[in-house]
Structure 1
Amino acid sequence: MAFDATRKDWIRRAAPSSRVERIEAYFGGHGYDMHRHDTYAIGRTLAGVQSFHYRRGMQHSLPGGTIVLHPDEAHDGQAGTDAGFHYRMIYVEPALIQRILGGRPLPFVRDGISADPRLYAASGALLQATGQDIDPLQEDDALFELAHALCAAAGRRTGRRTPDYAAAERARHFIHASLDQPIPLEDLARAAGTDRWSLSRDFRALFGTSPYRYVMLRRLDLARR
């Protein structure tokens, strides 16, 4: 696909899904300022060079690789050349990945870009053009493949205790049921059946962000409705 630096920037969003948000975009220069999501952001550059600051470094995504931004990691985006960049991205909640992995720590791809062919293949079904509908069963199958490909691409982290997934999930359900009232960490730990600091550590490992930030973002979601 040929690019012209005078082209206008654009963003397209796929029809809403109960599981995955999908976008496709083109930027001729500056794309977006530093920000963060409480989801995985997984995508691929279709043309051009997609450059972004991530974890104290500058990364450059080219066609053929897979972008994997971990939940709650700050990043920006801009064109790496005058040709601009064209990309697709999906946003996947960590809780959805956890339902598939069953309590393993979230896979972490350190540099934000992976050349792993398993991950590239597994993400393809979800990274179709935004005008292309994805069958719900196909989406479920693709999410299963994606979760396990993320684990394969990230490798195994050793020397860490196994997080208490059941307790962290009880805490997450308590949060969703209590968004209209204050939620002290002590109450959250009591509902989860664990101590405060174990919960705080395990929640981060399993859902990619702290209990406090998770509460704040869910309240923002509620306010937008």
Structure 2
Amino acid sequence: MQAVPDTFEHALDAAEFKRPAHRPGVELYRAHIVRHAFEPHTHEAFGLGAIESGVERFRYRGEEHLAPADTLVLMNPDELHTGRAETSAGWRYRMVYIDAQVLEQLTGERSWWFADAVGRDTLRARRVSLLLRQLWFAREPLAFDGLLLELVHELRPVARIAQPARDEGLSRFAPVVEHLREHLAERVTLDELAALAGLSPFHFQRQFKRAHHATPQQLLMALRLFEAKRLLAAGEAPAQVAAAVGLADQAHLTHAFARRYGVTPARYQQQLGTRPPREAQATLPASC
């Protein structure tokens, strides 16, 4: 089966990831998106950035948000979200994804949290955008780490330290989410998940969607693709990654990955410099 090409449908759509070799748990991202629509996905890290031009529309925590130019984008870990252009010219933005543990080490504070997904502070957004641009081009590890510290200091005034109490619905379904994480490559049924929550199947599905703003299948796919992203960054061959996370084959991985992260697995590995040798990239049969 022919894989999805490494380019977007629209010539102006472009996205690129970058990871500093010396600083695990930090990933940079920049993009200009016109027509591409990101399907629900998660980064399982803080997603912090700024809109440089245009307007983004995204769904986050069950609500629609608009982020115009010179606004901040502030996403907490483990939150499903989408993304698409609100205007015909699309939107251009930069992000940094920072693991919660790394952010705690950077700040010396626990339980950072952002109450608002969109920060409407023009000057701060421009300073964050500049710092993200400088981080992208930083060549020296020491310079990178200094800029990273400046970035979190810039965002400190809009962060909350006391994380809100966990929603009762999220807590109730925590065993279900953990079960999904532990069985990414297996066939999971609605009845099986409902039994873990002690509910009838369709009642469970309604309650789960109310709590997570996504169906169990949507969350499962988001978890599968995040794990695929982690394995690809570690240098695993796409065919092996597809099998490891329960996708039908490499073509399925390519399509699903691009729909959620804006780049194909091969392009992602090229950007990070982790693409395996060509002989290791043979597509596994769909039965694997």
Give the TM-score taking structure 1 as reference length: 0.60
- In the alignment, the residues of structure 1 paired with residue 19 and residue 230 of structure 2 have an alpha-carbon distance, to the nearest angstrom, of 18
1:11 match? 15
Q: 1:140 to 1:76 in 2, by over 3 A?
A: same
Equivalent in the alignment of 1:59: 65
Report if aligned partners of 2:74, 2:119 keep a CA contact under 8 Å in 1: yes
Q: Counterparts of 1:51 and 1:24 in 2: how far apart (Å)? A: 17
2:34 alignment partner, one of 28, 34, 59: 28
- Residue in 1 that maps onto 2:86: 80
Identity of aligned residues (%): 28
Which residue matches 1:221? 230
* Bigger fraction of residues in strand: 1
Greater helix content:
2
Do the aligned partners of 1:119 and 1:153 also contact (CA within 8 Å) in 2?
Answer: no
Q: Aligned partners of 1:143, 1:135: CA distance in 2, in Å?
A: 12
Q: Which whole-Å CA distance do the structure 2 matches of 1:29 and 1:88 have between them?
A: 17
One-letter code of the match for 1:140?
Answer: D
Counterpart Cα distance in 2 of 1:18 and 1:81:
38
**Alpha-carbon contact 2:131-2:151 (below 8 Å) kept:** no
Letter of the structure 2 residue corresponding to residue 12 of structure 1: E
Distance 1:43 1:122 in 2: 7
Distance 1:134 1:45, change over 3 A: farther
Change (3 A) 1:8 1:54: same
Map of 1:126 onto structure 2: 132
Pair 1:127–1:91, CA change in 2 (3 A) = farther
Distance 1:134 1:67, change over 3 A: farther
Aligned length: 164
Q: Are 1:93 and 2:99 an aligned pair? A: yes
Superposed, 1:37-52 pairs within 5 Å as 37-52=43-58
Q: For 2:151, which of 124, 146, 154 is the aligned residue?
A: 146
Deviation at 1:74, TM superposition (A): 0.9
RMSD value, Cα: 3.2
Aligned with 1:147: secondary structure?
A: helix
Separation in structure 2 between the aligned mates of residue 12 and residue 158 of structure 1, nearest angstrom: 31
Partners of 2:140 and 2:135 lie apart in 1 by 14
1:179 maps to: none
Shift of 1:134: 4.2
**TM-score, structure 2 length as denominator?**
0.48
- Quick one: which amino acid aligns to residue 53 of structure 1? R
CA distance in 1, matches of 2:62, 2:159: 19
CA distance in 2, matches of 1:86, 1:39: 21
Q: Which runs of 5+ in 1 are unaligned?
A: 161-213
Query: In the superposition, relative to structure 1, how do residues 58 and 137 fare at CA in structure 2: closer, same or farther (>3 Å)?
Result: same
Q: CA deviation at 1:73?
A: 0.9
Separation in 1, partners of 2:135, 2:64:
27
